């Protein structure tokens, strides 16, 4: 098959293609949605997935995600799209079981043969997670888009939400930041091979974090995706009615990301993420490149979770077995004027 640069077929790639969070929130604010006692987690806290109480001690976790190409290789794009979609189930403490494909394919401009490596990458990642691809839906569209609706399960007592932070908790981040700037650099041919290899490896890594933390009392978690670390931490702090302090010097970063951010290799989502959080974040004396790092739109980013201070070192050691660059990045405090403070 002739080499096709998938990123050249789209204007925006990965989770950076999300609609701006502040604009989306304003437009949808006030819509009336049905609720029911079985719905434990819905849309009110902007969590990663919904959680439905099955009434037998288990909960169902349901989510969906899709986006445009963020890398050029179809196999890698399929694997990243699947890992990113499955991540929301892990972010709720769950185990994924089934996935259904969401595919928009430009049949007039891309060869249909490209679907085979694309879907093989996704299927390999779905199988790695222990779940099964059970169906899906496809359409002919002008722009390639791929994602999955994923269903998983979790014992009711083990559900994680973004609304369960408690003052005194310690925050741990499992994956390095920087996919937004590195993939933007790919489109402008400024990304080094080392940077792209590091970013692709990270994005393809499944967020199988809950199994590593059994018995450690984790209740609060989220995955870091298109709204950046700052956006997702603001949502957690808002939902939990607490404040968070994060030391930017402890944030793990992908190869070359800081240099690219110093050169302001950015995309639109960096700026819309800033607009989304600027009234709730204090950047204090944070260097500009680290401000952009906290706003960097992640695709298939890491899990940010909280544990008590007494279990922080044990939890960190546990997740480092699979995520060696995991780091303690911050602390949870009582609610203050600023929801999130970067130092």
Exactly one of 15, 154, 163, 274 is catalytic; which is it? 15
Containing 133, the helix (H) or strand (E) segment is: strand 132-140
Average pLDDT over residues 250-273: 96
Residue 79, pLDDT above cutoff 80 = yes
User: Residue 182: its pLDDT value, please?
Assistant: 97
Tell me the CA distances in angstroms from 232 to 11, 110, 220, 303, 328, one per residue in order.
24, 35, 12, 11, 16
User: Residue 74: its pLDDT value, please?
Assistant: 96
Domains, the chain, ordered by start:
6-158 (3.30.1330.10), 170-342 (3.90.650.10)
The pTM is what? 0.94
Spatial distance between the Cα atoms of 305 and 309, rounded to a whole number of angstroms: 12
User: Residue 5: its pLDDT value, please?
Assistant: 85
Containing 257, the helix (H) or strand (E) segment is: helix 257-262
Spatial distance between the Cα atoms of 262 and 258, rounded to a whole number of angstroms: 6
Q: Sorting pLDDT into bands at 50, 70 and 90, what band is 15?
A: low
Residue 14, pLDDT above cutoff 80 = no
User: Residue 289: its pLDDT value, please?
Assistant: 97
Residue 35, pLDDT above cutoff 90 = no
Spatial distance between the Cα atoms of 64 and 147, rounded to a whole number of angstroms: 7
What pLDDT digit, counting tens, does each position of 117-163 carry?
A: 999 999 999 999 999 999 999 999 999 999 999 999 999 999 999 99
Spatial distance between the Cα atoms of 70 and 269, rounded to a whole number of angstroms: 14
Give percent of the chain above pLDDT 90.
Answer: 85
Note if 59 is an active site residue. Answer: no
Spatial distance between the Cα atoms of 176 and 252, rounded to a whole number of angstroms: 4
Q: Are strands 221-223 and 145-155 parallel, antiparallel or unpaired?
A: unpaired
Spatial distance between the Cα atoms of 116 and 120, rounded to a whole number of angstroms: 6
Q: Give the burial class of 136: count Cβ atoms within 10 A of its Cβ; 0-12 exposed, 13-18 middle, 19 or more buried.
A: middle
User: For 197, which DSSP code?
Assistant: H
8 Å CB contact between 266 and 293: no
Strand partners, 138: 103
């Amino acid at each position: 098959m002739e080499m096709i640069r998938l990123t050249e077929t789209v204007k925006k790639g990965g989770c950076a293609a999300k609609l701006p969070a502040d604009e989306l929130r304003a437009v949808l604010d006030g819509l009336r949605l049905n609720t029911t006692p079985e719905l434990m987690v819905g849309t009110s806290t902007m969590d990663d997935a919904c959680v439905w109480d099955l009434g037998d001690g288990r909960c169902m976790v349901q989510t969906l995600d899709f986006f445009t190409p963020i890398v050029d290789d179809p196999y890698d794009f399929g694997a990243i799209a699947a890992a990113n979609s499955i991540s929301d189930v892990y972010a709720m403490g769950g185990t994924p079981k089934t996935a259904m494909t969401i595919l928009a394919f430009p049949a007039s401009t891309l060869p249909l043969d490209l679907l085979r490596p694309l879907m093989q990458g996704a299927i390999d990642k779905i199988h790695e997670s222990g779940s099964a691809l059970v169906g899906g839906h496809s359409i002919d569209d002008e722009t390639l888009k791929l994602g999955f609706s994923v269903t998983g399960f979790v014992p009711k007592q083990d559900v994680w939400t973004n609304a369960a932070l408690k003052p005194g908790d310690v925050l741990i981040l499992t994956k390095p930041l920087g996919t937004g700037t590195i993939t933007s650099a790919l489109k402008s041919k400024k990304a080094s091979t080392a940077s792209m290899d590091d970013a692709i490896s990270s994005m393809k890594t499944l967020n199988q974090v809950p199994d590593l933390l059994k018995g450690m009392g984790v209740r609060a978690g989220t995955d870091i995706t298109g709204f950046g670390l700052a956006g997702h931490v603001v949502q957690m702090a808002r939902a939990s009615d607490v404040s968070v302090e994060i030391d930017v010097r402890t944030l793990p970063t992908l190869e070359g990301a800081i240099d690219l951010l110093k050169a302001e290799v950015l995309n639109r989502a960096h700026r819309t993420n800033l607009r989304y959080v600027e009234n709730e974040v204090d950047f204090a004396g944070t260097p500009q490149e680290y401000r952009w790092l906290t706003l960097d739109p992640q695709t298939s980013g890491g899990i940010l979770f909280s544990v008590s201070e007494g279990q922080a070192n044990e939890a960190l050691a546990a997740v480092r077995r699979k995520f060696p660059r995991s780091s303690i990045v911050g602390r949870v405090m009582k609610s203050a004027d600023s929801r999130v403070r970067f130092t």
